[in-house]
Amino acid sequence: MTGSNQYLLLAFIAFDILVIMPLIVGAFVDGNWNPIAEKYPPVPSSQDAVQRRFQSFAVGSLSLGFCIHVAADEACLHLYPCWFARLVRARPASIPWNKIQLSRTLGKYAIARLTELPSIKLRGPRWCLELAPASPQSP
């Protein structure tokens, strides 16, 4: 491979990493996570909210491992993306507890459905999702 071909290959790889990959990841975030943020915009959490940082959540085909800061108070489940998740366009959300139904638990994790967005399943830490009411069909 000649020197000019190597530079062309490096330019192609850099373009993929800097332009194409952020577009693809951003599309995954916009299609999976951001409908939640649009439906449930963030509100301030109460002073006595239980908070944990760097929690893992998954929505559809998008997994945000160790990328979400969580606050749970009597009104809402507050989800705040960390800097890396914000970099890929994830936005914060505050989901009222009456809009979340716990479907099932899986070890340390739980799966919940959003009543106003029935196609969305939210998988996250059991400690916070268990605060939601159980759905009628769950065992």
- In this structure, what CATH number is given to the domain that contains residue 91? 2.30.29
| pLDDT by position in tens, the chain (length 139) | 777 888 999 999 998 888 888 889 889 999 999 999 999 999 999 999 999 999 999 998 899 999 999 999 999 999 999 998 998 899 999 999 999 999 999 999 999 999 999 999 999 999 999 988 876 654 4
Q: How far apart are CA 93 and CA 77, in angstroms?
A: 8
Residue 101 lies in a domain: yes
Q: What is the pLDDT of residue 137?
A: 57
Q: Confirm if 57 and 29 have CB atoms less than 8 A apart.
A: no
Judge whether 5 lies within some domain: no
Is 137 domain-assigned? no
Q: What is the pLDDT of residue 1?
A: 72
- pTM given for the model: 0.84
In a domain, 99, yes or no: yes
Domain membership of residue 91 as a residue range: 31-129
Residue 19 belongs to a domain:
no
Query: According to the model, what pLDDT value does residue 136 have?
Result: 66
Distance between CA atoms of 32 and 28, rounded to whole angstroms?
Answer: 6
Phi and psi of 50, rounded to 5°? -80, 125
Residue 115 lies in a domain: yes
Number of domains in the chain: 1
Q: At residue 132, what is the residue type?
A: A
